[in-house]
Structure 1
Amino acid sequence: MKFEIGNIYSGFKFESETVIDEINSKGRVFKHIKSGAVLVNLKNKDDNKVFSITFKTLPHDSTGVAHILEHSVLCGSRKFKVKEPFIEILKGSLNTYLNAATYADKTMYPVASRNKKDFMNLMDVYLDAVFYPDIYNTPEIIMQEGWHYDIKDEEDEIEYNGVVYNEMKGAYSSPISLLSRSMDEELFKGSVYGVDSGGKVENIVDLSYEEALSFHEKYYHPSNSIIYVYGDIDIEEVLEFINDNYLKDFNKKNIDADIKVNGAFSKVHEKELEYSISEGESENDKTYFGMSFVTGDALDTELSMGLELLESILLEASSSPLRRAIVEENIGKDVFGVFDSSILKNTFSIILKDSNLEDKDKFKEVVKNTLKELVKNGIDKKLINGIINAKEFALRESDFDSYPAGLVYNEKILESMLYGGDPFINLRFNDVIKNIRKYAESNYFENLIEKYILNNNYGVFITVKPKKNLEEEREEKLREKLRKFKNGLSKDDLKKLIASNRSLELRQDTPDSEENLESIPLIAIGDVKRDIETIEHKIIDENNAKIIWCPLNTRGIQYVSIYFEGKSVPQNMIPYASLLSSVIGKVNTEKYNFKELSNEAMENLGGMDFGLDVYSRPQNYEDYAPKFAVRAKSLREKLPKMFEIMEEIINHSIYDDYKRLKEIIDEIKSRMEMAIRGSGSRMASVRVGSYVSSAYKYLDTITGIDFYKFIVDISSNFEEKKEEVAANLKAASDYIFKRDNLIAAYCAEEEDYETFSKLFNDFTLKLKNNNFKLNDYKFELKKLNEAFMMSTKVQYVAKGFNFRKFNFKHNGALIVLRTIANYDYLWNSVRVKGGAYGASMSLSRNGHLAFASYRDPNLLETLKAYEEMVSFVKDFNVNSREMDKYILGTISGIDMPLSNYSKCEKVTAQYLTGIDDEYMRKERLEILDCSVEDIKDSYDILKKLNEENCICVFGSEEKIKENKELFDNVVDIFGE
C-alpha cells in the first residue's frame, strides 16, 4: 500500500517518508493523534522483524527507579496475569531477541522475531506490560526486582535483598565500573546524567513503593514514547493493532521531560575514590585513572563521528600515538578510550588501568604533551586513513549476528530523535564519512584535539585507588545499620516485615494457574519447520588442503578463515600457543614494525584476528580438535593484499622485542583480571569442567585459571624469563604454521572463487612443510573443588561434570532441559527467590553440563538449588501446552538468523566436529518431539551430577570462609 503524507491510518497521521540508501530501507514517521505517541518505521526486506517501545525516563536520584521499573513491568500485566510474562515468552516463542534496557535517560523494550504471528504476539505482551503492569496491585514485584528487608523469623538478622540490588552490588565491585559511573556523575552533577539510573547500592534501599509507582505514572505514557517497527512487515496491520488494542484508550498528555545540563566548568574537576581489595592482595599496580570531557551535542552527527574516529585514532590501534606514549612510559598495564554518543552531551574518556597513585601526574603530563605534539606536528595520515577505512567497512558490512540489525538502527535513531533531531540522520553515513575524509586532508583531527581536549575545562579527572578490606568495613557498617533498624522496630512492625516476606515467598512459590498461563499467546508447534535450514557450501581439495566454500551474496566482501593444526604443539607448549594468538599481529615483522603493520592492516582489510579454538567431537567425549585460526575480511579488490599481510605475519613475525612483549602480556593480565571480577561465571564453568574432561582442561589451559596463572608468572618474572618466552613463542609459531592438515573456509560470491583459489594456493606454498607430528595430550584430571576469593559483594557459583564419561548420551531432550532450567527452575530458585542477577545451565554435545550463577548474593543456597534440580526433574509434569512452550523456546535459540560470515563459521564448526546435516536433523526432531517423559529421563544424569559434586566458586572472602568446609582448595585469586 502507498501511504500519502498527511493522511490518517488507524489513528496515526503519516508525517514523512524518506529513502535511506545506506541500509536499503525506507524510513517513515507516524504520529498518533489521540495519544501523542510517535512511531518510526524502517521498511525493508529483512525477515528478522524488530519492535520496540522506548520512554524518556529521567531519574532525579540514584535509587535505580528506572532500572527497577524496567525489571518490574515485565512481571505481570492486565491481560497477561502470570508472574513473569517475560520468562513465559522467552521459553515459549520463536523470538530472535527479547530484552529490556535502562539507559541514562531512556528505558527501552525491544523484541524481534522472524515469524509474523510470533512478532505480533511479542508486541502485544510488551505493550500490555509497559502500559498496564501489575505493579499497582502487587507490591511484592518491586520487593523482588528492586529491594526489600529480607527476614524469615524474628530471631534472624535482617538483610537487604533484591535482583537489581544484587546486580548493582556486582557492578560497583568492579573498579572500572565505579570509575566510569563516577566520571559521568561528576561531569553532570545536578542533572539527570549526574545520577546513576541503574542505582547505587546505598541509594537503592531509599526507594519507596509509592515513588516507583509515581515514576511509572509520569513517564510510561504514549505521549512520552517512541515506538519502532522494522523489517518486512505490513505496517498498516501493525498500526491498526497498536491503535485498537492500546493507544485509542489514552489521551495526549504534557510530560515535563526536558533534559537540562549544567554549563561548562571553569577548571577540570578532580575526585578520588576507593575500591576494595582483599587482605592478601598487593596494592601495587591497582590504581585506576580516568579523564573525561564533555565534547559536544549528540545532534551534531558529523562532530560525533569525528570524535568517535579520533578516539580510535588516539587509543584503539597498536599504532595509536596516545596509547603508545602512555604504554611506553610504563605507568599502567592497559589504556583505552571511550566515546559516548548515547546521551544528549557526548563524552570523550581516557582510562588507565593497573597503575599507581604516584603515577597520576605523569599520566596527565604524558597525555597533555603527546596531544600538544600531535597538534603541532600532525597525526600520521596513514593511521587516519586506516581508521576511517575500518569504520566505513564496519558500517557497510552491517552484519550483527545474534544482535538484530534492526535493533542497532533503532539505537541510532534514538540517539537523535530523543533530543528532537532528525530520526534518520545517524543512518545516513555516506556523506559524513566522505566529508570527514576530505577534512582529514588538513588538520581536522588535530583541531578536534585542541578544542575538545587540550583547551576544554569541561572535564573531570577521577582516581580510583585500592584499599584493603574496604568491603568488609562496609559490610560491617551495613550489618550494624540493619541491627539498629531491627532493634528500633516494635514487635508489630517486625511481624509486619516478616509477613511481607512471607507474602513475597507465597507469590514466588505459588504456580501460575493454567488459565493465566494460557493467556500468553503461543504459536503452534506445527508452525515450526521440522527440517533444518541447510547452508549452501562445498568441500574442495586444493593441494592437500580442505577448503570449505560458502558461495553467498556478500556484496563484494571476502571472508577468509584458515585453520592450522593445534595438536602440532607439544603439551608443555600449549599455553604459549594461546599466548601466540594474543601476540601475533601486534609485534614487528621483517617488513613492518608493529605500528606500520597495524596501519597497513586497517588501510586494506576489514579486520584480521587470531585465536586458538577448541572443537569438541560428540562421538567421544575425550575427542577434541584444537585449531589455531587466522580470520580476515576485506573487499574483493583487496584480497591479494589480505594474503600478503597474512603471509608476512605468519612467516616473518619477530618475537624478541621484549619491551613490546611485556606490554602485551601485561595487557592480557589486566583484561583477564577485569573478566574474572566482572564475569566469573564463565571462568568457573570452564574450571569445573577441567576437573573431569580433557577438552575442558585444554580450554582452561588456554583461556581459564591455568592460563591466568601462566600469564601472572611470566608477567611477574619477565626479566628472568623474557628470552625463554620469546623463544617459545617462535617455537610455537614454527609448530603451528605448516601446510599439513590445513583447512580453509571461504565465504564470497560465486565468481570470486577462482581468484581466491589461486591466491590461496600461492599462499600455502610459502608455508613450512617439515617435521609435522600430532601430539597425544595426557592431562591429569582431578576434582579440585576450589573457591577463589576476591574482594566483591557477590558470587559466581558453578557446579558441573561430564555425563558422557558415565555412558549417558547427548540428545535433543537435554537441550530442551537446558531451556527448562534457564527459564524455569534456575530462574525461579536462584534469581527470583535467591536474588541473583542470573543463573544458567550450559551444555555441550561432548557431555559438559554445568550450572553457574551470576552476581549472586548466595553460595550454599545456590549449590542447594542445583542439587535439588534432580527432584524437580523427577516430579516434572506439565501439560502439552507448557511442553510446547519449552520446545518453542529451544527452537528459537537454534533458528537465530546468521550473517554470511557466521553461516560459513557454522558450516566449518560442523565439519571440524564431525557433525553432518543428518546429525542436526535427528537432534532437531528430538527437540520437536520431546515429551515430559524424555525430560524425566534426565533424572539419572542429574543424580550422577550430585554424586560427583564438582564445584567451583569465585566470590567474596567472607562468604567463602563462612562455607570453607565445602571446598578442598581455597585460593586468594589476586593474592601475592
Structure 2
Amino acid sequence: MNTLEDHNNPGLKKGDIILDFKIIKSAQLKEINSFYYELEHIGTRAKYVHISNDDTENTFSVAFKTVPWDSTGVAHILEHTVLCGSQKFPVRDPFFSMIKRSLNTFMNAFTASDWTMYPFSTQNKKDFYNLLDVYLDAAFFPNIDLLSFKQEGHRLEFEGNKLVYKGVVYNEMKGAMSSPDQVLRRSILKALYPDNTYSNNSGGDPAVIPSLTHQQLVEFHKRHYHPSNSFFYTYGNMPLKDHLAFIQEKTLSRFQAIDPKTDVRSQPRWNKPETVIEFYPLAPNEDPGKKCQICTAWLTSDIKDSFEVLSLSLLEEILLGNSASPLRKALMDSGLGTALSDASGFSPDNRDTMFACGLKDVEESSGSEIEKIINNVLENLVKEGIDTRLIDAAIHQMEFQRKEVSNVPYPYGIKLLMVFCGTWFHGGDPLRVLEFDEDLHHLRDEMKKGRFFENLIQKYFLDNKHKVVFTLKPDQAMAQKEAAEFEIGLKAIAAELTDKEKEQINKDAKALKILQESSEDISILPTLELEDIPPMVKSVLPASMDTSLPAQWYEQPTSGIFYYTSVAGIGTLSASLMPLVPFFCYAFSKSGTRKHDYTEIARLLSTYTGGLGLSANVRTRYEDPGECLPFISFSGKCLNRNEEKMFEIISELLTGFNFADLPRLKTLLLEYRASMESMIVRNGHSYAISLASRNFSATRTLSEIWSGVHQLKTIKEITDNLDNKKLESIAQDMRNIGKHVFTQKNMKFALVGESPALFTAVAPLNSIISSLDSGKSNGFTAPDIKPGTELPREGWSTSSAVSFVAKAFEAVPMGHEDAPALSVISKILRSMYLHREIREKGGAYGGFAVYNKEDGLFCLGSYRDPHIAATLKIYDNSSDFIKSGEYNDEDVKEAILQVCSDIDKPDTPANAAKKAFFRDLMGLTDEARKKFKAQLLTLKREQIMTAAAKYFEPDRSKQAVAVISGEEQLKAANEKMKHSPLKLYQI
C-alpha cells in the first residue's frame, strides 16, 4: 500500500494488532479503487477480510463452513432456525422483524454445498450496527428451540384424521426437487463427489429431511457456528476499527479456539469414468419425448489454485461462452437438443472444481452421439489449435467483468465477496483472486510458450478419468409414486403411534399455533426512526451537450466503461406481430446480419463489448394514467477504448439484420422455448401474478402476452412442426418488426459515461441515426389491445409438487392521494399477516403483497406453497385484517421504513442514469417522486384505515385469481372449493 493512503483507516498496515485482531495482509486494489485488509483473531482464529473504499453502501457478512454428513438438510434448516430468536433478542422472528425496522439495501442468508452465509448491506451507519447486533447474536447465540425447528424444518401434524408432514424447508425443497435443473445439479454433485460432503443434498432431500432430530441440529450448530470456523467480511467507507471493536465485544470475547473439524478433503480421483442415470418428475399430461438431459462432467482443479481456476474460467468462455464458441456451436448445431444442459460450464465453488457440458430436451438414445460430439470437438481443438480470437475475446470478457461495478443481483460489496469466498473458505488466498492481474500476466507468459489452452483441454478433459456421463430422464409416474410412498409411510407411522405420541403431536401443533398467533413486544430490537430517513429522492440530470440529436447525455463516473441505451416505440405494430416481439428481441443480436453470420457477430460482441441486446418492455405512463406504453430497449456497454467498435456493431445490427439463416432461427426458437419452460417452476409466483392480472388493463394484457404463460403457449404453437416454409414465414415476420420499429422518428437514445467518452459518441450516434429509414410514425403510443372482459379464477397445471397462488385487484396509481397508504398497506400485510399465516403456519417458503404504483394494481402471492384453498382463504381474510386496524403507530412507522428502503436503494452511476432516462420516457418527474415520499413520511394510521376500507372490498367479482401447481393438487383444491372452483388449464 505504497501508492495511496486509505483515508477511512489511516496508518493501518500489515502486522498491526487491533484489539485481538492481527492484520496479516494489506494491499491496494487499484482496479476497484479500494484497500484490502486480511486479519485473524488471535483468541479464536476467526478469519476476517475488510475492503475499504468510498462506497456508502456498507456490507457485512459472517459465514461458516457447514459440512453436512447426510441429506437431512441440517445446514439449511439451521440457517432458518438461528433466525428465529436469540439470547439478546428472544423474539419469534428477529430477522423478519429487522426487515421492518431498517433501511437495509439487502438482507438474506444463503446455504451452499459446504458453507452458510449471513450478509446484509445498508447506507445508514446506525442501521449497520443495529443489524450487526442482531446478526451476531442470531448466528452465535441462537435459541434453536424445538418449536422453531418444527416450524422451519419438519413436523408431523394431523389434518383431521390424516397425518401429514409440514415445515418451511420441507416444502421449499419439495418445490426445488420438482425442477429438472435442481435435480440435475444435485445429482451431478452426488455422482462426481461420492466420497465427500458434496454427495449429500445440503438443501435437504424431502424423503430424508424428516429423519433429522432437534438434538442433531443443536450439535451441528455448536461445532459449525463457532468463531474458529467463521469468516467475517466488511466492505465500504466505515472505519475498520469500529467494526472490530463491536464484534470483539459482542461475540469473540466470549469464545476460546477449537478445532471445528470442517476441512473438506479432496475427492479421491478415479481410474475410469462412470455412467449415471437419474430421474426427474414429469406431469402425466406432458409429452416425455425428447425430455432427457445428457451431459458429461469432469472433476477439475483444486479451488485453492487461483491460476488454474482463472485458466479454467477462461476455458469455459472459450468453449461455451457465446454462439461462436466451438463446443457450444457443435452441440447446438447438432439439432439433438434445444439448449445446453443445466449446470453446463465451469463451477469454481467446491473444494474440487468441476466442468460440465451437454444438451437438454434430447432423446435418451442420443447419449452416445452427444458424448462423441464433445470428444471430437475437444480432440480437434487439441490437434488443430484454438483460434486466438476466441482466447482474446475470453480474456476481454473477464477483464470487463472485473472492471464493471454492478449491483445486480446483489450489492457490489456482496458480489465482490462471492468472487473470492470459495477459495477463502478452503484455505486459499482471497487477495490473489482479487489481484488477478498477476495470474493474468502468468497466463500470457504461458501462452507465449504455445498450446497453453490446448494442453489444459488434454489434461482436464481428454486424459481425465474422473468423469461422469450423466443422463437425466423424465418419469411421469415419479410424482405419484413418491406421493403414494409418502402416504404409505405416514400411514405406517400413524398406525404405530401410541396415544401418548399422538397427544404430543397435537400438543406441539397447538403450542406452535399459539406461538405463531401470539403478539409480542419487539421493542427489544433496535430500530431506525422516520427522522433517520433522508427526505429527498436521488435524481440524475442529463448533461448539456451541443447537439440536435434525439439523445440524453449523462456524465457519470463509470470507471472507464461506456453505456449505450436506445428505445423504439412499438405501439403501432400490427396485432399479428405483437406476440413475436419478445422472441425478436431474443434473436436479434444472435442471428447474424447481411455482413456477418451469427458466429462472427458473437465473436465481435465478445471481443469488443460487455454485452449488447434487446428487451421488450411494456409500462404505464405516469402523466396519463392508464395509457399503455410498449417499447423495445437496446442496451450495450463497452470499455472506453472499444467505443468506436461497439458503435460499428450497433449500426450493423440496426441496419443489417436479415434473419436469413433458417437453421439458426430454428435453433434460437427451440432455445427460447426451453428457457421459458425452465422458468415456470423456478418463478411460478411471477407467472401466477401475471395470469391473475392480465385482464385489468392493456398494459397487463400485453405483459402476459409477452412474458407470461401465454407467451410460452405462443412459442409452443410456433415451434411445433418447424419446416422451412414456416421458418421463412417467421423470418419475414422478424424482418417486418425490425423495419417497423428501427426508424429515425421512432428512436430515442441515452448515452452514459465519462466526459471524453460522451463527446466521442456524438459523431457515430449521428451516423447511426442518419443511416436509419426516415419512418412513417412515432410508435410511442398505446397499442390497439383490449383486455378480456372477465377476471380469471384459474388453475394452470405443470410438473410441480408445490403451488404458486396469486390474487389481484385494482386500486389507484401513484398520482392519487391514497397511493402512499397503499404502499404501506402492502408492507403491513406481508410482514404482519401473510408471513405469519402463509409461511409460519402454512409452511410455504413465502407469502407477499405487492402494490404497483405505476398502474395501481394490488397483488397477493405465495411461493412454493403446500396449500391452495387455504391460501386463497387467507387472501380473503386479509381484507378483514387490514380493515380491523390490528396494527399500531409503530407498525405503520416500520412499514414506511420498508417502503423508503425500496425508494432509496442505491444504484451504480450507470444504472442511476439509465433509470432517469426511463423515468423521463414514462413521464415520472422528480417532483412527483419527491411529493410521494413527502406524503409517505407524514402518513398516519388513520389514513391507512381509510384507504383499507376503500380498496379492500369483499366483492370477489372484482378480484382475479390464478394458481400454478400440479394437476392433482389443483383437482384436490377444487374439491374443497366446490362453491367457487378454479377453471383448469394446462401449461
> CA 1:417 to 1:753, structure 2 compared with 1: closer, same or farther past 3 Å?
closer
Rounded Cα–Cα distance in structure 2 between residues aligned with 1:179 and 1:613: 32
Rounded Cα–Cα distance in structure 2 between residues aligned with 1:580 and 1:409: 34
User: Is 1:786 paired with 2:829?
Assistant: no
Contact 2:828 2:892 in 1 (8 A): no
Query: Hey, what does 1:84 align to over in structure 2?
Result: 93
Query: Hey, what does 1:188 align to over in structure 2?
Result: 193
> CA 1:289 to 1:539, structure 2 compared with 1: closer, same or farther past 3 Å?
farther
> CA 1:656 to 1:263, structure 2 compared with 1: closer, same or farther past 3 Å?
same
Secondary structure, in 3 states, of the residue corresponding to 1:348?
Answer: strand
Query: Hey, what does 2:205 align to over in structure 1?
Result: 200
Matched ranges for 1:346-357 at <5 A: 346-357=353-364
User: Is 1:701 paired with 2:705?
Assistant: yes
Secondary structure, in 3 states, of the residue corresponding to 1:614?
Answer: strand
Contact 1:569 1:577 in 2 (8 A): no
Rounded Cα–Cα distance in structure 2 between residues aligned with 1:968 and 1:186: 42
Contact 1:78 1:134 in 2 (8 A): yes
TM-score w.r.t. length of structure 1:
0.96
Letter in 1 for 2:255: F
Query: Hey, what does 1:435 align to over in structure 2?
Result: 442
Deviations along 1:682-735, one digit per CA (max 9) or x if unpaired, are 111112111222101111111112211111111113215212111111111111
Deviations along 1:342-371, one digit per CA (max 9) or x if unpaired, are 121111011421111111111111111111
1:494 aligned to which of 487, 496, 502: 502
Q: Identity of aligned pairs, percent? A: 30
Query: Hey, what does 1:507 align to over in structure 2?
Result: 515
Secondary structure, in 3 states, of the residue corresponding to 2:571?
Answer: helix
Rounded Cα–Cα distance in structure 1 between residues aligned with 2:545 and 2:982: 51
Query: Hey, what does 2:811 align to over in structure 1?
Result: 803
Secondary structure, in 3 states, of the residue corresponding to 1:892?
Answer: helix
Rounded Cα–Cα distance in structure 2 between residues aligned with 1:435 and 1:880: 62
How far 1:111 sits from its partner (Å)? Answer: 1.2
How far 1:769 sits from its partner (Å)? Answer: 1.2
Deviations along 1:607-646, one digit per CA (max 9) or x if unpaired, are 1111111221234453121111111111223222222111
User: Is 1:571 paired with 2:575?
Assistant: yes
Contact 1:619 1:846 in 2 (8 A): no
Deviations along 1:156-178, one digit per CA (max 9) or x if unpaired, are 21111111111111111011110
Rounded Cα–Cα distance in structure 2 between residues aligned with 1:219 and 1:368: 42
Letter in 2 for 1:819: K
User: Is 1:882 paired with 2:891?
Assistant: yes
User: Is 1:223 paired with 2:232?
Assistant: no
Rounded Cα–Cα distance in structure 2 between residues aligned with 1:61 and 1:110: 26
How far 1:856 sits from its partner (Å)? Answer: 0.8
Query: Hey, what does 1:381 align to over in structure 2?
Result: 388
Contact 2:280 2:478 in 1 (8 A): yes
How far 1:837 sits from its partner (Å)? Answer: 0.9
Residue segments in structure 2 that go unaligned for 5+ positions in a row = 1-9
Tell me the matched-pair count: 965
Query: Hey, what does 1:424 align to over in structure 2?
Result: 431
Query: Hey, what does 2:482 align to over in structure 1?
Result: 474
Secondary structure, in 3 states, of the residue corresponding to 2:540?
Answer: coil
> CA 1:201 to 1:351, structure 2 compared with 1: closer, same or farther past 3 Å?
farther
> CA 1:250 to 1:328, structure 2 compared with 1: closer, same or farther past 3 Å?
same
Rounded Cα–Cα distance in structure 1 between residues aligned with 2:778 and 2:20: 72
How far 1:493 sits from its partner (Å)? Answer: 1.2
Rounded Cα–Cα distance in structure 2 between residues aligned with 1:220 and 1:776: 57
User: Is 1:96 paired with 2:105?
Assistant: yes
User: Is 1:125 paired with 2:131?
Assistant: no
Rounded Cα–Cα distance in structure 2 between residues aligned with 1:194 and 1:114: 40
Query: Hey, what does 1:608 align to over in structure 2?
Result: 612
Query: Hey, what does 2:371 align to over in structure 1?
Result: 364
Letter in 2 for 1:563: V
Query: Hey, what does 1:445 align to over in structure 2?
Result: 453
Contact 2:47 2:231 in 1 (8 A): yes
Rounded Cα–Cα distance in structure 2 between residues aligned with 1:415 and 1:956: 37
Rounded Cα–Cα distance in structure 1 between residues aligned with 2:906 and 2:355: 34
Query: Hey, what does 1:8 align to over in structure 2?
Result: 17
Letter in 1 for 2:178: S
Letter in 2 for 1:738: T
> CA 1:542 to 1:769, structure 2 compared with 1: closer, same or farther past 3 Å?
farther
User: Is 1:826 paired with 2:834?
Assistant: yes
Deviations along 1:793-825, one digit per CA (max 9) or x if unpaired, are 101111113324999766122222222233332
Rounded Cα–Cα distance in structure 2 between residues aligned with 1:583 and 1:776: 23
> CA 1:587 to 1:7, structure 2 compared with 1: closer, same or farther past 3 Å?
closer
Query: Hey, what does 1:46 align to over in structure 2?
Result: 55
Letter in 2 for 1:646: I
> CA 1:365 to 1:679, structure 2 compared with 1: closer, same or farther past 3 Å?
same
Contact 1:615 1:909 in 2 (8 A): no
Contact 2:694 2:787 in 1 (8 A): no
1:872 aligned to which of 877, 881, 900: 881
User: Is 1:757 paired with 2:771?
Assistant: no
How far 1:427 sits from its partner (Å)? Answer: 0.5
1:891 aligned to which of 886, 896, 900: 900
Contact 2:746 2:777 in 1 (8 A): no
Rounded Cα–Cα distance in structure 2 between residues aligned with 1:258 and 1:968: 52
Letter in 2 for 1:382: R
Secondary structure, in 3 states, of the residue corresponding to 2:939?
Answer: coil
Secondary structure, in 3 states, of the residue corresponding to 2:234?
Answer: strand
Letter in 2 for 1:150: E
User: Is 1:637 paired with 2:637?
Assistant: no
Secondary structure, in 3 states, of the residue corresponding to 2:332?
Answer: helix
Contact 2:303 2:428 in 1 (8 A): no
> CA 1:499 to 1:808, structure 2 compared with 1: closer, same or farther past 3 Å?
farther
How far 1:892 sits from its partner (Å)? Answer: 1.4
Secondary structure, in 3 states, of the residue corresponding to 2:207?
Answer: helix
State which drifts further: 51-60 or 815-824: 815-824
Rounded Cα–Cα distance in structure 1 between residues aligned with 2:684 and 2:249: 47
Contact 1:795 1:859 in 2 (8 A): yes
Query: Hey, what does 2:469 align to over in structure 1?
Result: 461
Query: Hey, what does 1:691 align to over in structure 2?
Result: 695
Query: Hey, what does 1:941 align to over in structure 2?
Result: 951
User: Is 1:552 paired with 2:556?
Assistant: yes
Rounded Cα–Cα distance in structure 1 between residues aligned with 2:282 and 2:968: 12
Contact 1:562 1:745 in 2 (8 A): yes
Query: Hey, what does 2:968 align to over in structure 1?
Result: 958
How far 1:784 sits from its partner (Å)? Answer: 3.1
Letter in 1 for 2:676: M
> CA 1:160 to 1:808, structure 2 compared with 1: closer, same or farther past 3 Å?
farther
Contact 1:402 1:896 in 2 (8 A): no
Rounded Cα–Cα distance in structure 1 between residues aligned with 2:425 and 2:510: 42
Query: Hey, what does 1:276 align to over in structure 2?
Result: 281
State which drifts further: 914-923 or 32-41: 32-41
Secondary structure, in 3 states, of the residue corresponding to 1:104?
Answer: coil
Rounded Cα–Cα distance in structure 2 between residues aligned with 1:761 and 1:807: 37
State which drifts further: 754-763 or 707-716: 754-763
State which drifts further: 776-785 or 637-646: 776-785
Letter in 2 for 1:283: P
The alignment's C-alpha RMSD in Å is 1.9
Secondary structure, in 3 states, of the residue corresponding to 1:274?
Answer: strand
Letter in 2 for 1:10: L
Contact 1:841 1:851 in 2 (8 A): yes
Query: Hey, what does 2:271 align to over in structure 1?
Result: 266
Rounded Cα–Cα distance in structure 1 between residues aligned with 2:702 and 2:265: 54
State which drifts further: 205-214 or 424-433: 424-433
> CA 1:575 to 1:402, structure 2 compared with 1: closer, same or farther past 3 Å?
same
Contact 2:585 2:614 in 1 (8 A): yes
Letter in 2 for 1:60: W
State which drifts further: 76-85 or 781-790: 781-790
Residue segments in structure 1 that go unaligned for 5+ positions in a row = none
Rounded Cα–Cα distance in structure 1 between residues aligned with 2:369 and 2:491: 46
User: Is 1:58 paired with 2:67?
Assistant: yes
Rounded Cα–Cα distance in structure 1 between residues aligned with 2:208 and 2:776: 64
How far 1:53 sits from its partner (Å)? Answer: 0.9
2:149 aligned to which of 122, 142, 152: 142
How far 1:595 sits from its partner (Å)? Answer: 0.3
How far 1:309 sits from its partner (Å)? Answer: 1.6
